[in-house]
Structure 1
Amino acid sequence: MALFINFLIIALIIGAAGYQIYRVVKRAKKGKCAACDYDCEAKKMLNKAQKQQN
């Protein structure tokens, strides 16, 4: 029984990692970086530059 639980936990961890990799690849194909969800300094600079051009 303990062996089955260990395999189940390992499968969940590998599945979650695979899902995260899938999301990163899917987002990268759209041309977005992995940190697009965060308000980082580079994003602030880009937004400021775009506002100045308009």
Structure 2
Amino acid sequence: MKLLSALFVSMLMMASVVQANAQNYPCSKSMGGVSHCKDGKFVCKNGKISQSKKVCI
């Protein structure tokens, strides 16, 4: 029972980290994700420039 509880808690912790990463990603899933970096801005796979304030290298 303790093992099951520990597994459940660890899965909850990992789920919150994955969700936080998804919210902070420069190009959304609908834009196809990040293709490359150009002039410090993220270019999405659909060709649009991300509106993210993050600077890429």
- Match of residue 24 from structure 1: 22
Q: What count of residue pairs does the alignment treat as equivalent?
A: 38
Structure with the higher strand share, 1 or 2: 2
Give the superposition deviation at 1:26.
1.8
| TM score, norm. by length of structure 2 | 0.48
* Alpha-carbon distance between aligned partners in 2 of 1:14 and 1:21, rounded to the nearest angstrom: 11
Q: Are 2:27 and 2:33, in contact at CA under 8 Å, matched by a contact in 1?
A: yes
Which residues of structure 2 form unaligned runs of 5+?
36-43, 49-57
Amino acid at match of 2:47: L
User: What fraction of aligned residue pairs are identical, expressed as a percent?
Assistant: 5
Structure with the higher helix share, 1 or 2: 1
Q: Secondary structure at the residue paired with 1:46?
A: coil
